[in-house]
Structure 1
Amino acid sequence: MQTPLLQVKHISKTYQNSKGWFRNEKVQAIKSVSFDLKRAHTLAVVGEAGSGKSTLARILAGEMAPSAGDILLHGQNLNDTNQRQRCMDIRMIPQRPSLSLNPRLRVGMQILAPLVQHRSLTRSLRQQKLYATMRDVGLLEEHADYYPNMLSASQRLRVTLARAMIVDPEVLVFDQTLSAMDITMRAQLINLLTMLQQSRGMAYIMIGHQLSMIRHLADDVMVMQQGEVIEFSPTDEIFESPASEYTQRLIYAYNELVQGPNS
Protein backbone atom coordinates (compact mmCIF):
# COMPACT_ATOMS: atom_id res chain seq x y z
CA MET A 1 0.00 0.00 0.00
CA GLN A 2 1.34 3.43 -0.96
CA THR A 3 2.35 5.68 1.93
CA PRO A 4 0.21 8.87 2.09
CA LEU A 5 2.00 12.12 1.35
CA LEU A 6 1.12 13.56 4.77
CA GLN A 7 0.22 11.66 7.93
CA VAL A 8 -0.95 13.46 11.06
CA LYS A 9 -0.99 11.17 14.08
CA HIS A 10 -2.72 12.09 17.34
CA ILE A 11 -1.75 15.76 17.33
CA SER A 12 -2.68 17.65 20.50
CA LYS A 13 -2.01 21.18 21.67
CA THR A 14 -2.41 22.46 25.23
CA TYR A 15 -1.99 26.08 26.29
CA GLN A 16 -1.24 27.38 29.77
CA ASN A 17 -3.41 30.42 30.55
CA SER A 18 -2.51 32.53 33.54
CA LYS A 19 -5.39 32.95 36.02
CA GLY A 20 -3.56 35.22 38.44
CA TRP A 21 -0.69 34.73 40.86
CA PHE A 22 0.51 31.13 41.02
CA ARG A 23 -2.52 29.90 39.08
CA ASN A 24 -2.49 28.49 35.57
CA GLU A 25 -5.34 26.97 33.62
CA LYS A 26 -4.72 24.32 30.95
CA VAL A 27 -6.70 24.79 27.75
CA GLN A 28 -6.61 21.97 25.23
CA ALA A 29 -7.00 23.60 21.81
CA ILE A 30 -6.59 20.34 19.85
CA LYS A 31 -7.31 16.82 21.11
CA SER A 32 -5.68 13.88 19.32
CA VAL A 33 -6.29 14.91 15.70
CA SER A 34 -5.31 12.33 13.06
CA PHE A 35 -5.69 12.19 9.27
CA ASP A 36 -3.91 11.19 6.06
CA LEU A 37 -3.55 13.29 2.92
CA LYS A 38 -2.63 11.97 -0.53
CA ARG A 39 -0.58 13.75 -3.15
CA ALA A 40 -2.66 16.09 -5.38
CA HIS A 41 -5.62 15.84 -2.97
CA THR A 42 -7.42 18.57 -1.05
CA LEU A 43 -8.63 18.32 2.53
CA ALA A 44 -11.01 20.97 3.89
CA VAL A 45 -11.12 21.57 7.65
CA VAL A 46 -14.29 23.25 8.86
CA GLY A 47 -15.72 24.16 12.25
CA GLU A 48 -16.92 27.01 14.42
CA ALA A 49 -14.65 29.68 15.91
CA GLY A 50 -12.52 28.13 18.65
CA SER A 51 -12.73 24.63 17.18
CA GLY A 52 -8.94 24.43 16.78
CA LYS A 53 -8.74 24.92 12.99
CA SER A 54 -6.19 27.74 12.97
CA THR A 55 -4.11 26.13 15.70
CA LEU A 56 -3.92 23.01 13.53
CA ALA A 57 -2.90 25.13 10.52
CA ARG A 58 -0.05 26.77 12.46
CA ILE A 59 1.20 23.41 13.73
CA LEU A 60 1.17 21.92 10.23
CA ALA A 61 3.09 24.90 8.85
CA GLY A 62 5.69 24.62 11.62
CA GLU A 63 4.80 27.94 13.26
CA MET A 64 4.21 26.20 16.58
CA ALA A 65 5.03 22.78 18.01
CA PRO A 66 2.34 20.30 19.07
CA SER A 67 2.16 19.24 22.70
CA ALA A 68 1.92 15.63 21.55
CA GLY A 69 1.69 13.62 18.35
CA ASP A 70 3.63 13.34 15.10
CA ILE A 71 3.51 14.71 11.54
CA LEU A 72 5.02 12.57 8.81
CA LEU A 73 5.79 13.59 5.22
CA HIS A 74 6.57 10.70 2.85
CA GLY A 75 6.73 8.54 5.97
CA GLN A 76 9.45 10.66 7.60
CA ASN A 77 8.73 12.35 10.90
CA LEU A 78 9.03 16.12 10.45
CA ASN A 79 10.48 16.35 13.96
CA ASP A 80 13.55 14.66 12.45
CA THR A 81 13.73 17.11 9.51
CA ASN A 82 15.81 20.28 9.68
CA GLN A 83 13.77 23.47 9.98
CA ARG A 84 14.90 24.82 6.62
CA GLN A 85 13.56 21.79 4.78
CA ARG A 86 10.39 21.83 6.87
CA CYS A 87 9.73 25.44 5.86
CA MET A 88 9.96 24.47 2.19
CA ASP A 89 7.86 21.29 2.38
CA ILE A 90 4.72 22.84 3.90
CA ARG A 91 3.84 26.48 3.24
CA MET A 92 0.92 28.52 4.56
CA ILE A 93 -1.16 31.20 2.84
CA PRO A 94 -2.37 33.59 5.60
CA GLN A 95 -5.93 34.66 6.30
CA ARG A 96 -5.44 38.12 4.78
CA PRO A 97 -2.78 37.70 2.11
CA SER A 98 -2.52 41.41 1.22
CA LEU A 99 -1.60 42.32 4.80
CA SER A 100 1.33 39.91 4.69
CA LEU A 101 3.00 41.93 1.93
CA ASN A 102 5.46 44.72 2.71
CA PRO A 103 4.20 47.89 0.99
CA ARG A 104 7.77 49.25 0.74
CA LEU A 105 9.29 46.29 -1.13
CA ARG A 106 8.86 45.41 -4.77
CA VAL A 107 6.81 42.32 -5.54
CA GLY A 108 9.72 40.38 -7.06
CA MET A 109 11.84 40.76 -3.91
CA GLN A 110 8.98 39.50 -1.74
CA ILE A 111 8.31 36.46 -3.90
CA LEU A 112 12.01 35.61 -3.93
CA ALA A 113 12.48 35.96 -0.16
CA PRO A 114 11.82 32.28 0.76
CA LEU A 115 14.05 31.09 -2.08
CA VAL A 116 16.91 33.35 -0.98
CA GLN A 117 16.47 32.23 2.62
CA HIS A 118 16.17 28.49 2.09
CA ARG A 119 18.05 27.66 -1.11
CA SER A 120 21.46 28.45 -2.55
CA LEU A 121 21.01 29.40 -6.20
CA THR A 122 22.83 31.70 -8.56
CA ARG A 123 21.24 35.06 -9.31
CA SER A 124 20.41 33.89 -12.85
CA LEU A 125 18.66 30.74 -11.64
CA ARG A 126 16.73 32.70 -9.01
CA GLN A 127 15.50 35.10 -11.69
CA GLN A 128 14.42 32.23 -13.95
CA LYS A 129 12.57 30.61 -11.02
CA LEU A 130 10.91 33.93 -10.16
CA TYR A 131 9.52 34.51 -13.64
CA ALA A 132 8.41 30.88 -14.09
CA THR A 133 6.52 30.94 -10.79
CA MET A 134 4.90 34.27 -11.57
CA ARG A 135 3.69 32.94 -14.91
CA ASP A 136 2.28 29.86 -13.18
CA VAL A 137 0.03 31.99 -10.96
CA GLY A 138 -1.06 34.32 -13.77
CA LEU A 139 1.24 37.29 -13.14
CA LEU A 140 3.32 39.10 -15.74
CA GLU A 141 7.10 39.38 -15.48
CA GLU A 142 6.88 43.17 -15.25
CA HIS A 143 4.81 42.82 -12.07
CA ALA A 144 8.07 41.92 -10.31
CA ASP A 145 8.98 45.64 -10.35
CA TYR A 146 5.61 46.77 -8.95
CA TYR A 147 4.83 47.64 -5.35
CA PRO A 148 1.84 45.81 -3.77
CA ASN A 149 -0.41 48.90 -3.84
CA MET A 150 -0.05 49.02 -7.63
CA LEU A 151 -1.79 45.64 -7.95
CA SER A 152 -5.41 44.55 -7.62
CA ALA A 153 -6.58 42.40 -4.69
CA SER A 154 -6.62 39.36 -6.97
CA GLN A 155 -3.05 40.05 -8.12
CA ARG A 156 -1.85 40.49 -4.53
CA LEU A 157 -3.33 37.11 -3.68
CA ARG A 158 -1.38 35.64 -6.60
CA VAL A 159 1.79 37.26 -5.25
CA THR A 160 1.39 35.53 -1.87
CA LEU A 161 0.66 32.27 -3.68
CA ALA A 162 3.81 32.67 -5.81
CA ARG A 163 5.83 33.44 -2.68
CA ALA A 164 4.67 30.19 -1.10
CA MET A 165 5.17 28.13 -4.26
CA ILE A 166 8.63 29.36 -5.26
CA VAL A 167 10.34 26.75 -3.05
CA ASP A 168 8.27 23.91 -4.57
CA PRO A 169 6.30 22.85 -1.48
CA GLU A 170 4.56 19.50 -1.17
CA VAL A 171 1.61 20.92 0.81
CA LEU A 172 -0.08 24.33 0.85
CA VAL A 173 -2.15 25.28 3.91
CA PHE A 174 -4.79 27.99 3.42
CA ASP A 175 -5.68 29.45 6.83
CA GLN A 176 -9.14 30.91 6.23
CA THR A 177 -7.75 32.64 3.15
CA LEU A 178 -11.11 32.34 1.42
CA SER A 179 -13.17 34.20 4.01
CA ALA A 180 -12.38 37.76 2.86
CA MET A 181 -12.83 37.13 -0.88
CA ASP A 182 -15.71 38.16 -3.05
CA ILE A 183 -17.43 35.71 -5.41
CA THR A 184 -15.33 36.70 -8.43
CA MET A 185 -12.05 36.20 -6.59
CA ARG A 186 -13.18 32.83 -5.27
CA ALA A 187 -14.05 31.64 -8.77
CA GLN A 188 -10.65 32.80 -10.05
CA LEU A 189 -8.90 31.05 -7.17
CA ILE A 190 -10.78 27.78 -7.74
CA ASN A 191 -9.64 27.71 -11.36
CA LEU A 192 -6.06 28.66 -10.49
CA LEU A 193 -5.67 26.17 -7.65
CA THR A 194 -7.18 23.36 -9.72
CA MET A 195 -4.73 24.06 -12.54
CA LEU A 196 -1.72 24.27 -10.19
CA GLN A 197 -2.64 21.06 -8.41
CA GLN A 198 -2.91 19.21 -11.71
CA SER A 199 0.43 20.55 -12.99
CA ARG A 200 2.47 20.39 -9.78
CA GLY A 201 0.80 17.62 -7.79
CA MET A 202 0.60 19.70 -4.60
CA ALA A 203 -1.76 18.76 -1.80
CA TYR A 204 -3.96 21.44 -0.21
CA ILE A 205 -5.35 21.83 3.30
CA MET A 206 -8.09 24.46 3.34
CA ILE A 207 -9.07 25.85 6.73
CA GLY A 208 -12.34 27.76 6.67
CA HIS A 209 -16.07 27.80 6.29
CA GLN A 210 -16.70 28.82 2.66
CA LEU A 211 -18.67 25.68 1.85
CA SER A 212 -19.41 26.62 -1.77
CA MET A 213 -15.71 26.78 -2.57
CA ILE A 214 -14.92 23.74 -0.46
CA ARG A 215 -17.48 21.70 -2.38
CA HIS A 216 -15.72 22.54 -5.65
CA LEU A 217 -12.16 21.96 -4.44
CA ALA A 218 -12.04 19.44 -1.60
CA ASP A 219 -11.76 15.68 -1.93
CA ASP A 220 -12.45 15.15 1.79
CA VAL A 221 -13.87 17.26 4.61
CA MET A 222 -12.83 17.10 8.25
CA VAL A 223 -15.25 18.68 10.74
CA MET A 224 -13.87 19.93 14.06
CA GLN A 225 -15.66 20.99 17.21
CA GLN A 226 -14.00 22.04 20.47
CA GLY A 227 -10.63 20.74 19.33
CA GLU A 228 -11.82 17.30 18.25
CA VAL A 229 -12.56 15.70 14.90
CA ILE A 230 -16.25 14.78 14.91
CA GLU A 231 -16.55 13.76 11.27
CA PHE A 232 -14.22 12.91 8.36
CA SER A 233 -15.71 11.85 5.02
CA PRO A 234 -15.45 12.39 1.27
CA THR A 235 -16.89 15.75 0.27
CA ASP A 236 -19.96 14.34 -1.50
CA GLU A 237 -20.89 12.28 1.57
CA ILE A 238 -20.55 15.29 3.86
CA PHE A 239 -22.87 17.39 1.71
CA GLU A 240 -25.39 14.64 0.90
CA SER A 241 -25.60 12.71 4.20
CA PRO A 242 -23.78 14.44 7.07
CA ALA A 243 -23.55 12.16 10.10
CA SER A 244 -23.12 14.51 13.08
CA GLU A 245 -25.76 16.99 14.23
CA TYR A 246 -23.29 19.86 13.99
CA THR A 247 -22.39 19.02 10.37
CA GLN A 248 -26.09 18.69 9.54
CA ARG A 249 -26.65 22.26 10.76
CA LEU A 250 -23.73 23.51 8.64
CA ILE A 251 -25.04 21.84 5.50
CA TYR A 252 -28.62 22.94 6.18
CA ALA A 253 -27.48 26.58 6.46
CA TYR A 254 -25.44 26.20 3.26
CA ASN A 255 -28.39 24.70 1.34
CA GLU A 256 -30.70 27.49 2.49
CA LEU A 257 -28.17 30.06 1.31
CA VAL A 258 -27.68 28.41 -2.09
CA GLN A 259 -31.18 27.14 -2.84
CA GLY A 260 -33.40 29.40 -0.75
CA PRO A 261 -35.47 28.62 2.35
CA ASN A 262 -38.40 27.08 0.44
CA SER A 263 -36.41 24.52 -1.57
Structure 2
Amino acid sequence: MSENILEIKDIKRHYPVSNGLFSLSKATVKAVNGITLEVKKGETLGLVGESGCGKSTLARLLTGLEKPDQGSINFKGRKLDEWTATERSTMLQMVFQDPYSSLNPRQRIGKIISESMRIHKSGSKDEIQQRVEELLVQVGLRPEHHKRYPHEFSGGQRQRVAIARAIAMNPDLIICDEPVSALDVSVQAQVLNLLKSIQQEFGLSYVFISHDLSVVSHISDRVAVMYLGQLMEIATAEELYRNPQHPYTQILLDAVPVPDPAVQGEDVVISGDIPSPISPPSGCPFHTRCPKAMEICSQAQPELKETEDDHRVACHLY
Protein backbone atom coordinates (compact mmCIF):
# COMPACT_ATOMS: atom_id res chain seq x y z
CA MET A 1 0.00 0.00 0.00
CA SER A 2 1.33 3.44 -0.92
CA GLU A 3 2.11 5.84 1.87
CA ASN A 4 0.05 8.99 2.25
CA ILE A 5 1.73 12.18 1.08
CA LEU A 6 -1.15 14.38 2.28
CA GLU A 7 -3.54 13.80 5.18
CA ILE A 8 -6.48 16.10 5.93
CA LYS A 9 -8.45 15.71 9.13
CA ASP A 10 -11.74 17.50 9.87
CA ILE A 11 -10.73 20.82 8.31
CA LYS A 12 -13.15 23.74 8.24
CA ARG A 13 -12.99 27.16 6.62
CA HIS A 14 -15.75 29.64 7.35
CA TYR A 15 -16.00 33.23 6.11
CA PRO A 16 -17.88 35.92 8.07
CA VAL A 17 -20.21 38.07 5.97
CA SER A 18 -22.24 41.10 7.05
CA ASN A 19 -26.03 41.01 6.72
CA GLY A 20 -26.17 44.63 5.59
CA LEU A 21 -24.44 48.01 5.57
CA PHE A 22 -25.76 49.05 9.00
CA SER A 23 -26.17 45.59 10.46
CA LEU A 24 -23.98 44.55 13.39
CA SER A 25 -24.84 40.88 13.11
CA LYS A 26 -22.75 38.69 10.86
CA ALA A 27 -23.49 35.44 9.12
CA THR A 28 -20.95 32.76 8.21
CA VAL A 29 -20.33 31.10 4.86
CA LYS A 30 -19.34 27.51 5.58
CA ALA A 31 -17.19 26.96 2.48
CA VAL A 32 -15.40 23.87 3.81
CA ASN A 33 -17.23 22.24 6.67
CA GLY A 34 -15.37 19.26 8.10
CA ILE A 35 -13.45 17.28 5.47
CA THR A 36 -11.24 14.28 6.14
CA LEU A 37 -9.32 12.53 3.35
CA GLU A 38 -5.85 11.50 2.26
CA VAL A 39 -3.76 11.56 -0.92
CA LYS A 40 -1.41 8.66 -1.56
CA LYS A 41 2.04 9.04 -3.03
CA GLY A 42 1.95 8.87 -6.82
CA GLU A 43 -1.85 8.86 -7.16
CA THR A 44 -4.38 11.28 -8.62
CA LEU A 45 -7.28 12.13 -6.36
CA GLY A 46 -10.19 13.61 -8.30
CA LEU A 47 -12.40 16.09 -6.47
CA VAL A 48 -15.82 16.72 -8.03
CA GLY A 49 -18.98 18.62 -7.20
CA GLU A 50 -21.24 21.42 -8.35
CA SER A 51 -20.03 25.02 -8.52
CA GLY A 52 -19.92 26.59 -5.07
CA CYS A 53 -19.41 23.35 -3.17
CA GLY A 54 -16.03 24.45 -1.78
CA LYS A 55 -13.58 22.73 -4.14
CA SER A 56 -11.42 25.80 -4.85
CA THR A 57 -11.44 26.84 -1.18
CA LEU A 58 -10.13 23.40 -0.31
CA ALA A 59 -7.41 23.82 -2.96
CA ARG A 60 -6.25 27.09 -1.38
CA LEU A 61 -6.16 25.42 2.03
CA LEU A 62 -4.05 22.54 0.71
CA THR A 63 -1.48 24.91 -0.82
CA GLY A 64 -1.24 27.05 2.31
CA LEU A 65 -2.70 30.13 0.58
CA GLU A 66 -5.31 30.11 3.34
CA LYS A 67 -5.36 28.59 6.81
CA PRO A 68 -8.18 26.39 8.11
CA ASP A 69 -10.27 27.55 11.06
CA GLN A 70 -10.23 24.03 12.45
CA GLY A 71 -8.57 20.69 11.77
CA SER A 72 -5.13 19.70 10.53
CA ILE A 73 -3.34 19.29 7.20
CA ASN A 74 -0.28 17.03 7.27
CA PHE A 75 2.10 17.02 4.32
CA LYS A 76 4.77 14.30 4.18
CA GLY A 77 4.21 13.51 7.86
CA ARG A 78 4.45 17.10 9.14
CA LYS A 79 1.83 19.76 9.68
CA LEU A 80 1.61 22.01 6.64
CA ASP A 81 2.22 25.19 8.67
CA GLU A 82 5.46 23.70 10.06
CA TRP A 83 7.00 23.86 6.58
CA THR A 84 8.41 27.25 5.68
CA ALA A 85 6.93 29.13 2.71
CA THR A 86 10.13 28.36 0.79
CA GLU A 87 9.86 24.64 1.51
CA ARG A 88 6.20 24.55 0.56
CA SER A 89 6.84 26.31 -2.74
CA THR A 90 9.40 23.68 -3.78
CA MET A 91 7.29 20.67 -2.75
CA LEU A 92 3.74 21.80 -3.49
CA GLN A 93 2.53 23.68 -6.57
CA MET A 94 -0.77 24.66 -8.17
CA VAL A 95 -2.12 24.87 -11.73
CA PHE A 96 -4.99 27.34 -11.98
CA GLN A 97 -8.16 27.30 -14.07
CA ASP A 98 -7.47 30.28 -16.35
CA PRO A 99 -4.03 29.95 -17.97
CA TYR A 100 -4.02 33.57 -19.12
CA SER A 101 -4.78 35.30 -15.82
CA SER A 102 -2.33 33.05 -13.95
CA LEU A 103 0.59 34.19 -16.16
CA ASN A 104 2.12 37.68 -15.94
CA PRO A 105 1.34 39.28 -19.34
CA ARG A 106 4.35 41.63 -19.03
CA GLN A 107 6.92 38.86 -18.64
CA ARG A 108 8.37 36.54 -21.22
CA ILE A 109 7.63 32.84 -20.84
CA GLY A 110 11.24 32.05 -19.93
CA LYS A 111 11.16 34.46 -17.00
CA ILE A 112 7.79 33.13 -15.80
CA ILE A 113 8.98 29.52 -15.77
CA SER A 114 12.38 30.31 -14.23
CA GLU A 115 11.10 32.59 -11.46
CA SER A 116 11.09 29.91 -8.74
CA MET A 117 14.50 28.63 -9.83
CA ARG A 118 15.95 32.16 -9.65
CA ILE A 119 14.40 32.81 -6.23
CA HIS A 120 15.80 29.57 -4.83
CA LYS A 121 19.13 29.99 -6.68
CA SER A 122 18.95 26.48 -8.08
CA GLY A 123 21.71 26.99 -10.62
CA SER A 124 23.71 29.45 -12.67
CA LYS A 125 22.06 31.67 -15.28
CA ASP A 126 23.05 29.27 -18.07
CA GLU A 127 21.88 26.21 -16.13
CA ILE A 128 18.51 27.81 -15.43
CA GLN A 129 18.16 28.76 -19.09
CA GLN A 130 18.90 25.19 -20.12
CA ARG A 131 16.38 23.89 -17.58
CA VAL A 132 13.69 26.23 -18.95
CA GLU A 133 14.26 24.99 -22.49
CA GLU A 134 14.10 21.36 -21.30
CA LEU A 135 10.82 22.05 -19.49
CA LEU A 136 9.32 23.63 -22.61
CA VAL A 137 10.17 20.52 -24.62
CA GLN A 138 8.72 18.27 -21.89
CA VAL A 139 5.35 20.03 -22.06
CA GLY A 140 5.21 19.93 -25.87
CA LEU A 141 6.52 23.40 -26.76
CA ARG A 142 9.69 24.54 -28.52
CA PRO A 143 12.85 25.77 -26.72
CA GLU A 144 12.80 29.12 -28.52
CA HIS A 145 9.32 29.84 -27.12
CA HIS A 146 10.95 31.16 -23.96
CA LYS A 147 11.29 34.53 -25.73
CA ARG A 148 7.54 34.93 -26.29
CA TYR A 149 4.86 36.60 -24.16
CA PRO A 150 1.69 34.80 -22.92
CA HIS A 151 -0.60 36.57 -25.41
CA GLU A 152 1.34 34.97 -28.28
CA PHE A 153 0.09 31.50 -27.30
CA SER A 154 -3.24 29.71 -27.53
CA GLY A 155 -5.13 28.71 -24.41
CA GLY A 156 -3.82 25.15 -24.49
CA GLN A 157 -0.24 26.34 -24.98
CA ARG A 158 -0.57 28.77 -22.08
CA GLN A 159 -1.73 25.94 -19.83
CA ARG A 160 1.32 23.95 -20.91
CA VAL A 161 3.45 26.91 -19.80
CA ALA A 162 1.64 26.90 -16.44
CA ILE A 163 2.39 23.17 -16.07
CA ALA A 164 6.07 23.77 -16.93
CA ARG A 165 6.21 26.43 -14.21
CA ALA A 166 4.57 24.05 -11.71
CA ILE A 167 7.08 21.23 -12.26
CA ALA A 168 10.16 23.49 -12.46
CA MET A 169 11.23 22.76 -8.84
CA ASN A 170 10.32 19.03 -8.97
CA PRO A 171 7.42 19.20 -6.48
CA ASP A 172 5.85 16.18 -4.78
CA LEU A 173 2.23 17.32 -5.12
CA ILE A 174 0.39 19.52 -7.64
CA ILE A 175 -3.09 20.89 -7.02
CA CYS A 176 -4.91 21.20 -10.36
CA ASP A 177 -7.91 23.53 -9.98
CA GLU A 178 -10.13 23.01 -13.05
CA PRO A 179 -7.03 23.05 -15.31
CA VAL A 180 -8.86 22.12 -18.53
CA SER A 181 -12.31 23.67 -18.08
CA ALA A 182 -11.39 26.78 -20.11
CA LEU A 183 -10.02 24.73 -23.03
CA ASP A 184 -11.58 23.15 -26.13
CA VAL A 185 -12.47 19.47 -25.81
CA SER A 186 -9.70 18.30 -28.17
CA VAL A 187 -7.13 20.39 -26.29
CA GLN A 188 -8.45 19.08 -22.96
CA ALA A 189 -7.45 15.53 -23.94
CA GLN A 190 -3.94 16.68 -24.90
CA VAL A 191 -3.41 18.48 -21.58
CA LEU A 192 -4.79 15.53 -19.59
CA ASN A 193 -2.44 13.12 -21.39
CA LEU A 194 0.43 15.53 -20.72
CA LEU A 195 -0.38 15.57 -17.00
CA LYS A 196 -0.47 11.77 -16.92
CA SER A 197 2.86 11.40 -18.73
CA ILE A 198 4.53 13.95 -16.44
CA GLN A 199 3.14 12.14 -13.40
CA GLN A 200 4.66 8.85 -14.56
CA GLU A 201 8.00 10.50 -15.33
CA PHE A 202 8.36 12.43 -12.07
CA GLY A 203 6.29 10.29 -9.66
CA LEU A 204 3.97 13.19 -8.86
CA SER A 205 0.77 13.18 -6.85
CA TYR A 206 -2.21 15.22 -8.05
CA VAL A 207 -5.35 16.62 -6.51
CA PHE A 208 -7.43 17.16 -9.64
CA ILE A 209 -10.45 19.43 -9.11
CA SER A 210 -13.21 19.50 -11.69
CA HIS A 211 -16.99 19.62 -12.14
CA ASP A 212 -16.71 17.42 -15.25
CA LEU A 213 -17.05 13.77 -14.24
CA SER A 214 -15.94 12.47 -17.64
CA VAL A 215 -12.66 14.40 -17.34
CA VAL A 216 -12.12 13.16 -13.78
CA SER A 217 -12.66 9.52 -14.80
CA HIS A 218 -9.93 9.84 -17.44
CA ILE A 219 -7.18 10.90 -15.07
CA SER A 220 -8.10 9.90 -11.48
CA ASP A 221 -7.17 6.87 -9.42
CA ARG A 222 -9.70 7.77 -6.70
CA VAL A 223 -12.58 10.23 -6.72
CA ALA A 224 -14.07 12.26 -3.86
CA VAL A 225 -17.52 13.86 -4.26
CA MET A 226 -18.22 17.17 -2.48
CA TYR A 227 -21.50 18.91 -1.69
CA LEU A 228 -21.90 22.11 0.34
CA GLY A 229 -18.41 21.90 1.83
CA GLN A 230 -18.65 18.24 2.86
CA LEU A 231 -17.61 14.88 1.41
CA MET A 232 -20.46 12.68 0.26
CA GLU A 233 -18.52 9.73 -1.13
CA ILE A 234 -14.97 8.63 -1.91
CA ALA A 235 -13.84 5.51 -3.77
CA THR A 236 -11.56 4.31 -6.54
CA ALA A 237 -12.56 5.78 -9.88
CA GLU A 238 -13.51 2.38 -11.29
CA GLU A 239 -15.63 1.50 -8.26
CA LEU A 240 -17.35 4.89 -8.06
CA TYR A 241 -18.42 4.86 -11.70
CA ARG A 242 -19.46 1.20 -11.53
CA ASN A 243 -21.22 1.33 -8.19
CA PRO A 244 -22.12 4.87 -7.03
CA GLN A 245 -23.79 4.58 -3.64
CA HIS A 246 -24.69 8.10 -2.53
CA PRO A 247 -27.83 9.47 -4.23
CA TYR A 248 -25.98 12.68 -5.09
CA THR A 249 -23.21 10.75 -6.85
CA GLN A 250 -25.79 8.71 -8.73
CA ILE A 251 -27.53 11.88 -9.94
CA LEU A 252 -24.24 13.45 -11.04
CA LEU A 253 -23.31 10.35 -13.06
CA ASP A 254 -26.78 10.09 -14.62
CA ALA A 255 -26.38 13.68 -15.82
CA VAL A 256 -23.17 12.94 -17.75
CA PRO A 257 -23.98 13.05 -21.50
CA VAL A 258 -23.41 9.81 -23.43
CA PRO A 259 -21.42 10.36 -26.69
CA ASP A 260 -23.79 8.17 -28.70
CA PRO A 261 -26.86 9.67 -30.41
CA ALA A 262 -28.49 6.24 -30.47
CA VAL A 263 -28.56 6.09 -26.67
CA GLN A 264 -31.44 8.02 -25.14
CA GLY A 265 -30.51 9.20 -21.68
CA GLU A 266 -33.07 9.88 -18.98
CA ASP A 267 -33.86 13.45 -17.99
CA VAL A 268 -32.25 13.96 -14.58
CA VAL A 269 -34.10 16.45 -12.39
CA ILE A 270 -33.07 17.38 -8.85
CA SER A 271 -35.85 19.00 -6.87
CA GLY A 272 -35.17 22.34 -5.22
CA ASP A 273 -32.23 24.72 -5.38
CA ILE A 274 -28.79 24.35 -3.83
CA PRO A 275 -29.09 25.56 -0.21
CA SER A 276 -27.06 28.57 0.83
CA PRO A 277 -23.69 27.76 2.46
CA ILE A 278 -24.56 30.53 4.96
CA SER A 279 -27.35 28.38 6.42
CA PRO A 280 -26.89 24.77 5.25
CA PRO A 281 -29.62 22.28 6.14
CA SER A 282 -29.44 20.34 9.38
CA GLY A 283 -28.52 16.69 9.17
CA CYS A 284 -27.38 15.57 5.73
CA PRO A 285 -26.74 18.67 3.58
CA PHE A 286 -28.29 16.94 0.54
CA HIS A 287 -31.54 15.80 2.18
CA THR A 288 -33.58 18.79 0.91
CA ARG A 289 -33.01 17.64 -2.70
CA CYS A 290 -32.53 13.90 -2.22
CA PRO A 291 -35.12 11.56 -3.82
CA LYS A 292 -34.33 8.91 -1.17
CA ALA A 293 -34.43 11.16 1.92
CA MET A 294 -35.72 9.67 5.18
CA GLU A 295 -36.79 11.32 8.43
CA ILE A 296 -33.40 10.75 10.03
CA CYS A 297 -31.66 12.58 7.17
CA SER A 298 -32.95 15.94 8.41
CA GLN A 299 -32.06 15.19 12.02
CA ALA A 300 -28.57 13.66 12.08
CA GLN A 301 -25.54 14.23 9.92
CA PRO A 302 -24.31 10.91 8.51
CA GLU A 303 -20.69 9.91 9.11
CA LEU A 304 -18.35 9.04 6.26
CA LYS A 305 -18.22 5.28 6.74
CA GLU A 306 -16.58 2.49 4.78
CA THR A 307 -19.18 0.29 3.06
CA GLU A 308 -16.71 -1.74 0.98
CA ASP A 309 -12.94 -1.88 0.60
CA ASP A 310 -11.70 1.68 0.03
CA HIS A 311 -15.25 2.92 -0.55
CA ARG A 312 -16.66 5.41 1.95
CA VAL A 313 -20.11 7.00 1.90
CA ALA A 314 -21.80 9.60 4.10
CA CYS A 315 -25.43 8.42 3.83
CA HIS A 316 -28.02 6.97 6.24
CA LEU A 317 -28.98 4.40 3.60
CA TYR A 318 -25.81 2.55 4.56
TM-score, scaled to structure 1? 0.94
Give, in angstroms, the shift of residue 11 of structure 1: 1.3
Tell me the amino acid that sits aligned with residue 259 of structure 2.
Answer: V
Q: Which runs of 4+ in 1 moved over 6 A?
A: none
Distance 1:48 1:240 in 2: 21
- Determine which of 96, 99, 104 is the counterpart of 1:94: 96
- Any idea what SS the aligned residue of 1:7 has? strand
Check conservation: 1:70, 1:79, Cα contact below 8 A: no
Structure-2 change in CA distance of 1:118 and 1:14 (3 Å): farther
Q: 1:128 to 1:175 in 2, by over 3 A?
A: same
Native 8 Å contact 2:3 2:41 kept in 1: no
Q: Distance in 2 between matches of 1:197 and 1:161?
A: 11
Which residue of 1 is the match for residue 4 of structure 2? 4
| Aligned ranges 1:94-243 → 2 under 5 Å | 94-243=96-245
Amino acid at match of 2:229: G
Aligned residue pairs total 262
SS in structure 1 of the partner of residue 67 of structure 2: coil
| Structure number with larger C-alpha Rg | 2
What is aligned with 2:24? 22
Farther-moved stretch of structure 1 (139-148 vs 122-131): 122-131
Q: Which segments of 5 or more consecutive residues in structure 1 lack a partner in the other structure?
A: none
Does 126-135 or 211-220 show the bigger shift? 126-135
**Identical amino acids, percent of aligned pairs:** 35
- In proportion to residue count, which structure has more helix? 1
Quote the residue 1:258 is aligned against: 259
**Counterparts of 1:161 and 1:236, CA distance in 2:** 27
Aligned to 2:258, the other structure's residue is in SS state helix
Query: How many Å apart are 1:119 and its aligned residue?
Result: 4.1
77-86 vs 125-134, greater mean Cα deviation: 125-134
Amino acid at match of 2:61: I
Give 1:39's match in structure 2, choosing from 28, 41, 55. 41
Question: Partners in 1 of 2:78 and 2:130 — Cα distance?
Answer: 31
Structure 2: give runs of 5+ residues left out of the alignment: 266-318
Q: Distance in 1 between matches of 2:232 and 2:211?
A: 16
1:113 shift after superposition: 1.4
SS in 2 for 1:196: helix
- Alignment-mate amino acid for residue 257 of structure 1: V
Q: Is the 8 A contact 1:46 1:207 kept in 2?
A: yes
Alpha-carbon distance between aligned partners in 1 of 2:232 and 2:7, rounded to the nearest angstrom: 18
Structure number with higher relative contact order (C-alpha < 8 Å, ≥ 6 residues apart) = 1
Q: What code does the residue aligned with 1:258 have? A: P
Deviations, residues 143-173 of structure 1 (Å, cap 9, x unaligned) = 0011122222221111111111111111111
Local SS of the residue matching 1:5: strand
**SS at 1:257's partner residue?**
coil
Give the Cα separation in 2 of the matches to 1:133 and 1:54. Answer: 27
CA contact (8 A) 2:95 2:177 kept: yes
Whole-Å separation in 2 of the counterparts to 1:119 and 1:234: 40
1:57-68 equivalent positions in 2, closer than 5 A: 57-68=59-70
State the alpha-carbon separation in 1 of the partners of residues 154 and 30 from structure 2.
Answer: 40
